[in-house]
Structure 1
Amino acid sequence: MAIKEKKVQNYGENPIEVRDSDHYQNEYIEGFVEKWDELINWQARSTSEGEFFIKTLKEHGADRVLDAATGTGFHSIRLIEAGFNVASVDGSVEMLVKAFENATRKDQILSTVHADWRWLTRDVQERFDAVICLGNSFTHLFSEEDRRKALAEFYSVLKHDGILILDQRNYDLILDEGFKSKHTYYYCGENVKAEPEYVDDGLARFRYQFPDESVYHLNMFPLRKDYVRRLLHEVGFQDVTTYGDFQETYHQDDPDFYIHVAKKD
């Protein structure tokens, strides 16, 4: 029987020149996806974020939710267990396979769709009460055209009065002062290192090292908070509230992450 050769991440001769919205498909290889849950640590993350997303969705009367960046299924499964009706979308087939496996182990069945946000309505014709795009996923889009197109697609699949919840790293802090993540809320894995290897105004290249010494990378665009808020307004969202590490008074501290809650009015 032939042994299947394991795929490896390939950034070519100059990794910091790889600034392409489509490259994420080559980044989330099977080996990295298999270790993703070590990085997240579901129990620790569940404890740290508490009921923030569940409470926010309920406050806006949401029932049918599109999880646009399903990953390994953490938020899709949490929301299903909380009583929401969830459709799970991701651009990575490997991630969707892992998410489905994770859900099965928790006696849940995910409704999965493999889709690219930029052409979301090509694969998703339904309208939703809410769209969530979490896990710093929006930062995979490298051009403003791609970001505007994706946000317009999110807007399009929302019902009137629907909300988009989108999160991002605090790249303002990384760009202006350097990296000093507390890992308190998002990446809670024990003995897993996630830190930027290279940063400029157009690229944040993160290095992920796991306890078995395996190393993976992600090339992402360092989105500034006010820039994202401006794009949300320009695409048509009327009301945008920004939280820092699940607190609206984010300016008192230097949060690891920002969460934008944008309403379609």
Structure 2
Amino acid sequence: MSIHAQSQDFGENPLEVRDTDHYTSEYVHSFVERWDQLIDWDARASGEGNFFMEVLREHGARKVLDAATGTGFHSVQLLRAGFEVTSADGSPAMLAKAFENARQRSHILRTVHADWRWLNRDVHDYYDAVICLGNSFTHLHDDNDRRKALAEFYATLRHDGILILDQRNYDAILDRRVEPTHNYYYCGDNVRATPEYVDESLARFRYEFPGKEVFHLNMFPLRKNYVRRLLREVGFQKVTTYGDFQETYHDKEPDFFIHVAEKSYVHGGEEE
């Protein structure tokens, strides 16, 4: 699909689209152009503070692969903080927008178009950390796809590297039908991101922008403990999970979970 496509196409029954390979066609040019209205870079930076930079520095990370760069928010934040960053995404439209956003902020991104399932075919390097943020991992609809992607992340990490991966609190949405508050991640004014349909194998979100523009994304509603188990089964030795950037939280409160998975073996280490 051309990066300049303007309209989404989910077919006659959008609930049937539970396919990993469909996500690149969901990020059409017109949606990508509106994406930063949804995010609001300044509000998100304020909400996150230095959380990711502190975690990376705590683990001695300097060289980072931003595996889901989107429109470039975290890549630019990390470059500003002095990290060496490679920015990857599966959407050419997102990569083009990220490069433009970074250039406007006096940074040049090193970009790579890559599918996580075959990441090391396109990314030929080793990193201290891989970050996969913005609820991006939920674009993988198949268990084998998720395992393959995590194995690729694991393989591109140095022996003491870490993976930082986030996800929506789908447990709260699935079990209690709680709508997100958007206090941290989706902070844009006059923009709504709401779950339109949810079952155990699909979370279909509706994004409404000023001017009555509406877009959709179909994602897989990952449960927190399932993701933690996958991380361990792929080989990560320790997994620490934060809720909205806090290590202590109640499961019903966070909009997002952030998993920090450590590759290096820690003798007698316990997962948190």
TM band (smaller chain): over 0.9
Matches within 5 A, 1:116-155: 116-155=115-154
Larger mean Cα displacement after TM superposition, 6-15 or 134-143: 6-15
Q: Secondary structure at the match of 1:97?
A: helix
Could you tell me which residue of structure 2 aligns to residue 10 of structure 1?
A: 9
Could you tell me which residue of structure 2 aligns to residue 215 of structure 1?
A: 214
How far does residue 254 in structure 1 lie from its aligned partner after superposition?
Answer: 1.4
Matches within 5 A, 1:1-265: 6-251=5-250, 254-265=253-264
* TM superposition outliers: structure 1 runs of 4+ over 4 Å: none
- 2-structure distance, mates of 1:127, 1:89: 14
- 1:177-226 per-position Cα deviation (integer Å, ceiling 9, x unaligned): 00321110000000100001100000000000001210000000000000
- 1-structure distance, mates of 2:54, 2:212: 38
Structure 2: 5+ residue stretches without partners: 265-272
- 2-structure distance, mates of 1:84, 1:206: 33
Structure 1: 5+ residue stretches without partners: none
- 1-structure distance, mates of 2:205, 2:251: 27
Amino acid at match of 1:13: E
How far does residue 52 in structure 1 lie from its aligned partner after superposition?
Answer: 0.3
Q: Secondary structure at the match of 2:250?
A: helix
- 2-structure distance, mates of 1:174, 1:252: 11
State the TM-score, normalizing by the size of structure 2.
0.95
Aligned-residue CA RMSD (Å): 1.2
Larger mean Cα displacement after TM superposition, 28-37 or 249-258: 249-258
Amino acid at match of 1:135: G
In percent, how many aligned pairs have the same letter? 69
How far does residue 252 in structure 1 lie from its aligned partner after superposition?
Answer: 6.5
- 1-structure distance, mates of 2:56, 2:188: 26
Contact 2:172 2:251 in 1 (8 A): no
How far does residue 125 in structure 1 lie from its aligned partner after superposition?
Answer: 1.4
Amino acid at match of 2:105: K
Contact 2:169 2:257 in 1 (8 A): yes
State the TM-score, normalizing by the size of structure 1.
0.97
How far does residue 253 in structure 1 lie from its aligned partner after superposition?
Answer: 5.1
Amino acid at match of 1:107: S
Residues 163 and 6 of structure 1: CA distance in aligned 2, closer, same or farther (over 3 Å): closer
Q: Secondary structure at the match of 2:161?
A: strand
How far does residue 250 in structure 1 lie from its aligned partner after superposition?
Answer: 2.1
Residues 158 and 6 of structure 1: CA distance in aligned 2, closer, same or farther (over 3 Å): closer
- 1:217-250 per-position Cα deviation (integer Å, ceiling 9, x unaligned): 0000000000000000000000000000000112
- 1-structure distance, mates of 2:245, 2:53: 12
Residues 104 and 171 of structure 1: CA distance in aligned 2, closer, same or farther (over 3 Å): same
Amino acid at match of 2:146: R
Residues 202 and 30 of structure 1: CA distance in aligned 2, closer, same or farther (over 3 Å): same
Contact 1:71 1:90 in 2 (8 A): yes
Q: Secondary structure at the match of 1:34?
A: helix
Contact 2:202 2:219 in 1 (8 A): yes
- 2-structure distance, mates of 1:26, 1:72: 16
- 1:137-161 per-position Cα deviation (integer Å, ceiling 9, x unaligned): 0000000000000000000000011
- 1-structure distance, mates of 2:50, 2:19: 35
- 1-structure distance, mates of 2:249, 2:156: 29
